[in-house]
């Protein structure tokens, strides 16, 4: 699994011109599911994601979590996080999870995050999505197997 996390002031994902998900202050998270990922792995990533302390406190230190700032969460599926560009110029995606398995884990993450975060929005799995955001910082973090 790979997560690309952006701390945002606001973010929105549209499908065919219609808003699928929209948040204010919080995390925009691109979710890549790998071919060997499981619910247990997704749980570890969610725990790390929701515990990240990357919002500034009153002293200007990145010391506050998403819940500390009543932040919102926008999850967007993105298999291209598994792009392998080592050979040639055309990326390979053989390490990405099969679409049915990836969608199941993506939907699982949405359900589980919704148990903890009051506002969880999301894109539409497999759709052609247009994502807009205002990155706060900018502040972007990548979580992958090297981190967990």
Among 146, 145, 128, 122, smallest CA distance to 33 is for 145
Structure tokens at 51: 């515990």
pLDDT range class, residue 125, cuts 50, 70, 90: very high
In tens, the pLDDT along 40-81 reads 999 999 999 999 999 999 999 999 999 999 999 999 999 999
Secondary structure E strands in 65-128: 72-77, 120-122
Paired sense of beta strands 26-32 and 72-77, if any: parallel
Query: What is the per-residue pLDDT for 104?
Result: 97
In tens, the pLDDT along 104-116 reads 999 999 999 999 9
Torsion of CA 25, 118, 126, 92, to 10 degrees: 60
Number of Cβ within a 10 Å radius of residue 20: 19
pLDDT range class, residue 146, cuts 50, 70, 90: confident
Which residues, listed in sequence order, are joined to residue 64 by a DSSP beta bridge?
Answer: 55
Q: Is the pLDDT of residue 148 over 80?
A: no
Q: 108-119 in b/e burial notation, b at 16+ Cβ within 10 A?
A: bbbebbeeebee
Output phi, psi for 146, to 5 deg: -70, -20
Catalytic option among 38, 62, 80, 140: 80
Is residue 62 annotated as part of the catalytic site, yes or no?
no
In tens, the pLDDT along 88-107 reads 999 999 999 999 999 999 99
Output phi, psi for 87, to 5 deg: -110, 125
pTM of the entire predicted model: 0.95
């Amino acid at each position: 699994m790979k997560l690309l996390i952006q701390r945002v002031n606001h973010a929105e994902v549209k499908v065919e011109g219609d808003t699928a998900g929209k948040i204010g202050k919080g995390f925009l998270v691109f979710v890549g599911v790998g071919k060997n990922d499981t619910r247990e792995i997704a749980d570890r990533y969610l725990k790390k994601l929701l515990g990240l302390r990357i919002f500034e406190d009153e002293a200007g230190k990145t010391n506050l979590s998403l819940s500390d700032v009543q932040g919102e969460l926008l999850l967007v599926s993105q298999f291209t996080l598994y792009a392998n560009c080592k050979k040639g110029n055309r990326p390979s995606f053989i390490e990405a999870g099969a679409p049915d398995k990836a969608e199941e884990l993506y939907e699982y993450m949405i359900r589980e995050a919704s148990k903890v975060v009051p506002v969880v929005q999301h894109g539409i799995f497999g759709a052609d999505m247009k994502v807009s955001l205002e990155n706060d910082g900018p502040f972007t973090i990548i979580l992958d197997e090297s981190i967990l």
